[in-house]
Amino acid sequence: MKIPLPSMILPFLLLPLIIARKALKQPHIVLIVADDLGYNDVPWHNPTIISPHLQDLAKAGVILEQNYVQTKCSPSRAALMTGRYPFHIGRQHESLPPQMPTGLSTKYRILPERLQEVGYATHAVGKWHLGFCDWDYTPTRRGFGTFFGFYTHGADYYERQATDSEGVFKGYDLRSNESVTHEGEGEYSAQLFSRKAVEVIESHEGKQPMFLYLAFQSIHKPIQVPDQYSRRYQPYGKLTKDSKRKGMITALDEAVKNVTTALKQSKMYRDTVIIFLSDNGGADKDANWPLRGRKNSVWEGGTRSVAFVSYPRMPKRYRGRSTDDLFHIVDWYPTILALAGYSKQLTDMDGYDQWLSLAAGWPGPRTELVYNINTALRFTAAIRAGKWKLIWGYPEGLRSNVPRKETRAAFAQTLREARSSDLLYLFNLETDPSETVNLAHENKQVMKILMKKIRRIMKSGEVVKPDTPFLRERSNPKYYGGYVSPGWCKAK
């Protein structure tokens, strides 16, 4: 009796799936997020960057060359923790200013909470930036068993003083779980956070799987770093801003090395999946070269993030490569949960489980992504389908401190107004990844298809109004002994 051809080849097609899933067995997961690290800030894109450990990790794993994030800190972190586009949860506009009485809504079950369900010990070290005005927004109330880090957007790298852009808000911002701590006073934050991450690893016992979320402050402003790192780029003379900034990258590299060394010494390394990415594009002009734009824009330079996955137990044939499959930050949520053996059905997800494309070479499931839809202050929508990208509205974002009355008079507020103002940009990213040639008036058929997709999303009723309440004076640390503190809003 003849066996049908599909039945004969099916076992061979499924072999990578079997190998990839067999390698898992609830691995440890270390999720490392750099802050404002640009596309041109890593040695596999820029050989002048001294970052040998990140280079080795990336080259030993899978480099994601089409990895997308949000335009700024909080929206990316919200997407990472929920698996949802920020415009579906109200977090699409701006980063959370420290005086804003809101945070990532508690109605969403975030990543560490899901991981605890399947037995993981969960730890967070570093930057939070998903709300702190109510204790229920803070890490230890959102599924992390331990937390060492800061709540706000950023602080001095040595003194932990957080400030707003106007200098009105100023306070000390460092917590161990829920208590203010002065541990590591005067210690550079990359070194402090890597040291605390090492302590988490060294204190981990037994067979329980570990999830470590390590969100570095580096290389967000202020531009601060011990001179020894900057001098590797500029041995003599007064250090330039560029040398200091690059020195911050090298210090970050050393911090990651300390963590991986601890994993090896603790006999955990071979069973650990290390995921590395930046939360958005670089803030400096040349940080994202040759991509256009920077942080706080839907240009490629603001949204296409460096990223890699390194896992020693990944089948050897699928390691040491780069992939151009589309990947979005919302995909990490279902991908990490799949790694962890989470079997409950996930609903209302914007992300895809991409583990088989990473670990077994399968074609990636994602063919489209939405950069953002934001109706706060002025209109921005951007979408990618295959090689085509459409920006409808303003590519660059506005800060929340811009008066709203001014924006209504000065900028297009709706789809119709943006179109009538000719705020349409169409690019073929396959031939023009630097977005230099606007094809909006040359390829109207493609443009209309993408415009229709945006209209459909806008009319779906699923776009949540941006959650941007007015800033609250009661947030000021002066009311809490000079410390950045919860207790001045009600979580929702």
How would DSSP label each residue in 247-274? HHHHHHHHHHHHHHHHHHHTT-GGGEEE
Helices (H) and strands (E) in the chain — how many of each?
Answer: 13, 18
DSSP 316: G
Side-chain half-sphere of 11: how many Cα atoms within 13 Å? 4
Q: Which two tokens stand for residue 193?
A: 């956070």
How would DSSP label each residue in 407-461? HHHHS--SHHHHHHTT-EEEEETTT-TT-----TTT-HHHHHHHHHHHHHHHHTT
Query: Cα separation of 204 and 202, whole Å?
Result: 6
Clarify whether 73 is annotated catalytic.
yes
Q: How buried is residue 238: exposed, middle or buried, by Cβ count under 10 Å (0-12/13-18/19+)? A: exposed
Nearest to 173 by CA among 476, 491, 488, 433: 476
Query: Cα separation of 230 and 145, whole Å?
Result: 36
Q: Which of 88, 93, 123, 129 is catalytic?
A: 129
Residue with tokens 């400030």: 163
Clarify whether 123 is annotated catalytic.
no
Q: Which of 28, 73, 133, 328 is catalytic?
A: 73
List beta partners, residue 178: none
Residue with tokens 């420290």: 98
**395 Ramachandran zone, left/alpha/beta (phi>0; psi -120 to 50):** alpha
- Catalytic residues, by residue number, are 73, 129
